[in-house]
Amino acid sequence: MSITADSDTLVTVENVVKYFPVRTSGLIRRTVGHVHAVDDVTFSIPRGKTLGLVGETGSGKSTLARCIAGLIPITSGKVSFEGTPISGLSRRAMRPFRREIQMIFQDPYGALNPRRRVGAIIGDPFTIHGTATGAERKRQVQELMERVGLNPEHYNRFPSEFSGGQRQRIGVARALALRPKLIICDEPVSALDVSIQAQVLNLLSDLQQDFGLSYLFIAHDLEVVRHVSDTVAVMYLGRIVECGPKDLVYGSARHPYTTALLSAAPAADPDTAASRQRIILTGEVPSPIDPPSGCRFHPRCPKAQPLCSKTEPLLEVKAGDAATHATACHFPVEAGENLAVAGRSQLP
Amino acid sequence: MSISGVEFVGQQAVAAETAEEAGKIEGRSQWQLTWRRLRQDKVAVGALIVILIMIVLAIAAPAFVAITHHPPNTAYPIQGETEAGNPVPPGTAGFWLGTDGTGRDLFIRILYGARISLFVGFVTTALGTGAGVAVGLIAGYFGGVIDTILARFTDAVLAFPYVVLALALAIVYGPSLPEMIAVIAFFSWAAIARVVRGQTLAIKEKEYIEAARSLGAGPFRIMFIDILPNLLAPVLVLATLYIPTAVVFEATLSFLGLGIQPPTASWGNILADAENFYTVAWWYVVFPAAALLITTLAFNLLGDGIRDAMDPRTERVLASARRRRRGKLKDWVRDANAAGEN
């Protein structure tokens, strides 16, 4: 996938690597290895669009989000915002970009300080960046509360007095306060009831239209990602294995992992569910401390060949695919190919 | 950062105040809930009343001097001593609780001792709590080398024999009130720092801290605006429980002659003098010792009460125990009725 710093691109992520050192406990801490949380990831977030990032727990989605938001330093690579590199900036130098990139967190209970009033929580961005004080701040906070569907009279309540969905709206209001260009949503609805999920997702899409926001939307629920995204990237063990427009990734997935992931999602329609063949992967997700050689998916891949354990496949456009649809696989899945059968034949 | 950080903290404090004012209409803040629970705890309320009486008596000590006409450091060798030179018993010649070894009014001296004890207790606890919170927050939040140094220093202070240091300082600089306050405060912050550090380590992993960082909040804003309010409950409990420790500490040092020096009255040095007279004057030992005991006990009971009131889980346990008892009573009534019908 090519990286172009044109005006349609808001954020570019180039070869970003994040390793967490694994240390021995005790007084003298020796580093005995690294968790390869994010390994050589490259993609871009288009302006005003939503990039969906899917993957299993532990695939590095949230780490990647925190790297882009500048919450944790990256090991190597580059993150740029509107062409300006923002990775490795000092806290002070990062400040102006904090206004442009905001985050919505997964846990609506953990993301709000239980000892502070909602007005103070939503007003924090104004206080920290000094954009509004006193009565003006209160007015803007109440405006935000109204915008996200909260009662502005609840300004003085504590987070514990709100339901999960309302708390997530508080988180959205806080992220929206500084009028950012990018909002990173780290599993914003996975802790909510399905009926509430829809409300929050609709709120997010309304806000996107009204404010021209871009989203990096992280989730493990494939249907949610399909609903909100324009482009979808699939992560496995710290790498992006497939990336492309939503319809292509969902309709004609090329990576065996994407295919398996899609086949595992429950179908809403029982007729399609019955006719579908579930691909059962063997084994567990390998440890990110010592990831497999070559293609990281090869120990579990039904199509694995000797080449796969030796050479790492590049994320590139495969023959016959659209120019925007890239796959990191030596032997991509062909249309009509039945992986379930291939997978079964490998079982002892 | 530091200048702008201070500014933000200031703005936040103003904002918090306005929020507090408006909050009175809303009600049901953490503190209001705690107070409501505390009010139902008879032991804690009793302890609080005892402490308040003690404080009022200490403040009103000069008023009692005006009533009894017995200044604390004036000896009455004629009315205040028996012919053998021993203290006179309570109620004699206007000495409500008798006199001490040199014929001074014991009641007035205990009141003046309370002034010293409570002053030392509150001041050292305030100093120790402030220092402990600061050290704990910094160690817990920054981690790494700073944490290692501060945590080891805390351990060293906790392991240090305080009487030895107090003795050494008293010998070098001579015993005085500021010196004693410094010694007690120096040994009082470490336990609080340890608790605050542990809590800070837990809280800094919460998502709302990450949210504050993603908004661009600096480390000191996060420590004081986001983390500290979550620590106030354990810190308040620890501080309340530390006051009696400081009071006893002061009494110990004064008893050993390392604290408050005669003729200034302190519970510790009154008790030290009383040693020579306990066979002939029981009141000389019993009343100052009782004052010390009642004060420390009241603070301990109040601290326990606050801890119970702040931890909603304990209330739930009590409530479920009450329900169980009530349930048993119902079962018993039903069984009795059934037996009667048969």
Looking up tokens 């106030």, which residue turns up?
Answer: B232
Spatial separation of the C-alpha atoms in residues B183 and A201, rounded to whole Å? 60
Residue B322: pLDDT over 60: no
Residue range B303-316, pLDDT digits in tens: 888 888 876 555 44
- Count structural domains, chain B: 1
With contact defined as beta carbons under 8 Å apart, do A222 and A302 qualify? no
Asked whether the beta carbons of residue A127 and residue B22 sit closer than 8 angstroms, the reply is: no
Res. B201 pLDDT band, cuts 50 70 90: very high
3-state helix, strand, coil in chain B (%, to 5): 75, 0, 20
> Which residue, B154, B186, B152, is CA-closest to B168?
B186
**Beta strands A9-23 and A50-55, pairing class:** unpaired
Are the beta carbons of A98 and B216 separated by less than 8 Å? Answer: yes
Give all strands (DSSP E) within A82-181, no chain letters: 84-85, 101-104
Q: Considering only alpha carbons, which residue of chain A is nearest residue B232?
A: A115
Beta carbons of A248 and A321 less than 8 angstroms apart: yes
Residues 6+ positions from A106 with CB-CB distance below 8 Å: A62, A186, A187, A188, A190, A191, B207
Contact, A225 vs A54, CB < 8 A? Answer: yes
Instruction: Label residue A240 by pLDDT band (50, 70, 90).
Output: very high
Among A37-46, A66-75, A98-107, B88-97, where is mean pLDDT lowest?
A: B88-97
Predicted local distance difference test score (pLDDT) of residue A260: 87
Inside any domain, residue B9: no
Q: Which residues lie across from A214 on neighbouring strands? A: A182
Residue B103 lies in a domain: yes
pLDDT higher than threshold 70 for residue B261: yes
- What domain range includes position A330? 9-24+32-100+180-346
Neighbours of A90 (CB within 10 A): 7
Query: Taking CB atoms and an 8 Å cutoff, what residues of chain B touch A119?
Result: 19
> pLDDT category, B198, cuts 50, 70, 90?
very high
pLDDT band at A337 (very low <50, low <70, confident <90, very high): confident
CB contact under 8 A, A156 and B19: yes
Confidence class for position B68, pLDDT limits 50, 70, 90: confident
**Calpha distance B181→B195 (Å, rounded):** 22
List the single residue in A103, A127, A137 with the smallest CB-CB distance to B8: A127
In a domain, A127, yes or no: no
Distance to chain A for B160, nearest Cα, Å: 22
Which chain B positions have a beta carbon within 8 Å of A114's beta carbon? 230
Cβ distance of A111 and B207 shorter than 8 Å: yes
Do B97 and B90 form a contact (C-beta atoms < 8 A)? yes
- Choice among A106-120, A262-276, B204-218, B229-243 with the minimum mean pLDDT: A262-276
Q: Which residues of chain A have a Cβ shorter than 8 Å from any chain B Cβ?
A: 66, 69-71, 91-92, 94-95, 98-99, 101-103, 105-107, 110-117, 119-120, 123-125, 127-130, 133, 137, 155-158, 171, 174, 178
DSSP state of A270: H
Q: Which residues of A touch B233 (CB under 8 A)?
A: none
Domain containing residue A193: CATH number: 3.40.50.300
> Chains A and B: how many Cβ contacts under 8 Å?
87
Find the CB nearest B230 among A115, A158, A171: A115
CA A339 to chain B, closest CA, distance in angstroms equals: 40
Is residue B16 in a domain?
no
Residues 6+ apart with CB under 8 A from B7: none
Q: Report whether B289 contacts B212 (CB < 8 A).
A: no
Instruction: Please give the Cα distance from A182 to A221 (Å, whole number).
Output: 21
Query: Do A193 and A227 meet the contact criterion of CB atoms below 8 Å apart?
Result: no
pLDDT of residue A103: 92
Q: Tell me the residues of B at the A interface, defined by beta carbons under 8 Å apart.
A: 1, 8, 11-12, 15-16, 19, 22-23, 25-26, 29-30, 206-208, 210-218, 221, 225-226, 229-230, 232
Choose the mutation target among B2, B215, B225, B310 for the interface with A, i.e. most A CBs under 10 Å: B215
* pLDDT tens track for B165-192: 878 887 888 788 888 888 888 888 998 9
* Model confidence at A315: pLDDT above 80: yes
3-state SS assignment for residue B294:
helix
Which residues on chain B are in Cβ contact (under 8 Å) with A156? 19, 22-23, 25-26
A175 in a domain, yes or no?
no
Is B197 within 8 Å of B140 (Cβ atoms)? yes
Kindly report the nearest CA distance between residue A187 and chain B, in angstroms.
13
**Interface contact B19-A120, CB threshold 8 A:** yes
CB of B133 within 8 A of CB of B122?
no
Can the peptide bond before residue B89 be classed as cis, meaning omega within 30 degrees of 0?
Answer: no
Structure tokens at B280: 């002939």
Integer Cα distance of A76 and A18 in angstroms: 7
Give the residue from A92, A101, A127 with the most B CB atoms within 10 Å of its CB, the best one to mutate. A127
Whether B12 has a pLDDT exceeding 70, the answer reads no
The residue behind tokens 């003098």 is B273
Q: Give which of B207, B213, B310 to mutate to test A binding, by max A Cβ within 10 Å.
A: B207
Contact B216 A110 (CB under 8 A): no
Task: Tell me the angle at which helices B228-255 and B177-203 cross, rounded to the nearest 10 degrees.
Answer: 150
Residue of A nearest to B16 (CA): A120
8 Å CB contact of B22 and A98: no
Q: Chain B partners of A130 at a C-beta cutoff of 8 Å?
A: 8
Please give the mean pLDDT across all residues of chain B: 81
Of B30, B206, B229, the CB nearest to A110: B206
Helices (H), B60-176: 61-68, 106-142, 144-159, 162-173
Q: How far is CA A59 from the centre of its chain?
A: 10
CATH of the domain at B283: 1.10.3720.10
Beta bridge partners of B81: B87
How many structural domains does chain A have? 1
B323 pLDDT higher than 80: no
Q: Which helix (H) or strand (E) holds A323?
A: none
- First-to-last CA distance in chain A? 38
pLDDT of res. B150: 93
Return the SS3 of B250.
helix
Which pLDDT band holds residue B76 (cuts at 50, 70, 90)? confident
pLDDT in the model for residue B56: 94
Instruction: Give the pLDDT band of residue B327 (cuts 50, 70, 90).
Output: low
> CB atoms < 10 A from the CB of B60, how many?
13
How close does chain B come to A119, measured CA to CA in Å? 8
Tell me the two tokens of residue A31.
Answer: 């580093």
Contact between chains at B22 and A105 (C-beta distance less than 8 A): no
Kindly report the nearest CA distance between residue A226 and chain B, in angstroms. Answer: 26
Q: What is the pLDDT of residues A34-81, one digit of tens each?
A: 888 898 899 999 999 999 999 888 888 889 999 999 888 999 999 999
- A240: three-class secondary structure by DSSP: strand
- The domain of B292 spans 29-336
